[in-house]
Homo-oligomer: A and B are copies of this chain.
């Protein structure tokens, strides 16, 4: 690790009480190392940070845990495991191994919450979650089957069943390590290439067979704000003890050329944070509120400005309802 770690109290001049539950997800400051992101969060008065595995693995989970602690921060979650949908046996074994590693990393970082993005259709999923370009998608030749899917690689029903099976395979390992597998429903525009889990209700159905301490769900406003069943499913998540995280960013239009990078700061778009935050509060959630923004403009901004905007928007749009 090249960045020196300052002792607690020096890099972290003071926590702000109004930001006690605000967490910086490292995806928001994409270009910063973990140490830089932790310093930025601490400087802004935050108490916690949500960390992505790439920034953790750069230094190793043991060093990462020290970096975070030395800045006086908690880890609100580890992002992300998942990508469990492959139909190939070898690839499935590799995916499960990687998720077990993520479980160990979460335990080393002292966070209980490991966020999982489950993966998309086999036809659309590539390592890293990249989609095949249109119109190169192959279709099987031969006569169409009258009673099967058009193509197993497009079979979303079977793909979802594999997710269920693989969560079952991972759950005992997570339980042993005191880590919770946190299912993240992604916006349906990512159903083909990133996550065949598209609604909070569906995530809760997948979680239902397991102990709430072992399989939970996260509410990310960008992904679920549109859901007509959202109020009911957030309440259900709370009642079931599965509400493991609350991530916020805004839905802005027009969508970016890469819609994955189309998120805005809280308050810049169309999400009604007051209402959704009250639903989350009323469900009994007392955890951190992670800001996780993927947007080229945010990534290009000075980190200090990003943190200041996060803090201002939190106090304005989220905190009064939390």
Q: List chain A positions with a Cβ less than 8 A from chain B.
A: 121, 123-124, 131-135, 137, 139, 144-151, 154-157, 160, 187-189, 191-193, 196-199, 201-202, 205, 225-229, 231, 251-255, 257-259, 264, 267-275, 278, 316-317, 320-321
Contacts and interface: CB of A to CB of B under 8 A. Distances in A.
A56 to B, nearest CB: 29
Binding site secondary structure of chain A: loop
B252 A135 contact: yes
Given A135-B252, A135-B268, A192-B253, 15 more contacts: A121-B270, A131-B253, A134-B253, A137-B252, A137-B269, A144-B316, A144-B320, A150-B275, A157-B231, A188-B188, A191-B226, A193-B253, A196-B226, A198-B228, A259-B259
Contacts of A255: 189, 255, 259
Given A274-B144, A274-B145, A134 B252 contact: yes
Contacts of A146: 320-321
B156 A192 contact: no
A152 to B, nearest CB: 9
A226 B198 contact: yes
A257 B259 contact: no
A259 B189 contact: yes
A147 B135 CA distance: 48
13 contacts: A123-B270, A134-B253, A134-B268, A135-B252, A144-B320, A145-B274, A150-B272, A150-B275, A155-B272, A187-B188, A187-B189, A196-B226, A201-B228
A160 B259 contact: no
Contacts of A201: 228-229
B226 A156 contact: yes
Contacts of A226: 156, 188, 191-192, 196, 198
Given A156-B226, A275-B157, A267 B199 contact: no
A253 B144 contact: no
Contact of A154 (B151, B258, B272): B272
Contacts of A137: 252, 268-270
A229 B205 CA distance: 11
A264 B278 CA distance: 40
A96 to B, nearest CB: 23
B254 A148 contact: no
Contacts of A151: 272
A131 B254 contact: yes
